[in-house]
Amino acid sequence: MPHPDRLRRALLRGLATGLLAPLAVRAARQGDATEDALAALKRRAGGRLGVCVHDAGDGASLAWRGSERFALCSTFKLLLAAVVLREADAGRLALDEELAFGREDLVPHAPVVERHLAAGRMRIDALAEATQTTSDNVAANLLIRRLGGPAAVTAGFRALGDDTTRIDRYEPAMNRVAPGDPRDTTTPDAIARTAVRLFSSDLLSVAAQARLRDWMIATRTGMRRLRAGLPADWIVGDKTGTGSNPQTGNQHNDVAVLWRDGRAPVAIAAYYAVGAYHPEMRAQDDAVLAEVGRIAAEWIARRG
């Protein structure tokens, strides 16, 4: 006859398995339903879609082509701002340091830097804020140079625990990513995990986390993308990325972090390669990301 302690442990294991099995089945069904919804969205929209939703609370993730590489476009600027703040936390960079620039530094899309051309210099913290909130390309280039170039910034991503995301060029050349080219790319899974880690670990000081969170929330470039599909009572910040090139087609990207009622943050990364070139960015392509937001919100809400 089995020893009483062994029998008791076996009964407890059986009870636990019986209680947890329905939860596991329900979670699997929820994941399957969400994946089916993403697959149906991709079929309707065409192109190539990659999505990852990652919850810092229990580490749960949902991914659709989450391990495939996509062109970063300007989504890298969220991590660039984080690297700047981390360097400042470590005392290797002073946020009140001013970087000089002139007309020779201008590239397309510099809404903040252009306003400061007469002064010819801006503080590093102001450049980081402009990089995140307006996607100012010149501000990003100035910060990349100050940090030591693309390879040094990529090393900064590695210090954040991201072994996948990389930048290799400056703006705007980095947006031209041919199929199969690993330069200036990430995966939805990698960047979602990194984004959520910025707000759920000691990578950044409490003050730096608060500053980055405020910048993300103040960003308005993605109001028609993921945010458009998320509940209005959730606190959400994001960073978009957009590409339009005859050789590589159009790219609509968005990385969002959301906070709900004191729960751990959740990140959503969505990368949509349209598969064709359109001179004007189309609302219907932004709407694909809005639908990703709605699908992700349903998955998050079902989990409680």
Per-residue model confidence (pLDDT) at position 4:
46
User: Of residues 67, 74, 135, 201, which has the active-site annotation?
Assistant: 74
The CA R_g of the chain, rounded to the nearest whole Å, is 21
pTM for the whole structure: 0.90
Where residue 12 falls among pLDDT bands split at 50, 70, 90? very low
Per-residue model confidence (pLDDT) at position 145:
98
pLDDT, one tens digit per residue, over 23-79 is 334 444 456 889 999 999 999 999 999 999 999 999 999 999 999 999 999 999 999
Residue 213 has pLDDT above 70, yes or no: yes
Per-residue model confidence (pLDDT) at position 262:
85
Rounded distance between C-alpha atoms, residue 32 and residue 34, angstroms:
5
Per-residue model confidence (pLDDT) at position 222:
97
For range 124-151, the mean pLDDT:
98
- Is residue 74 part of the annotated active site? The answer reads yes
Residue 7 has pLDDT above 80, yes or no: no
Residue 123 has pLDDT above 90, yes or no: yes
Instruction: Please tell me whether the peptide bond between 172 and the residue prior to it is cis, using omega within 30 degrees of 0.
Output: yes
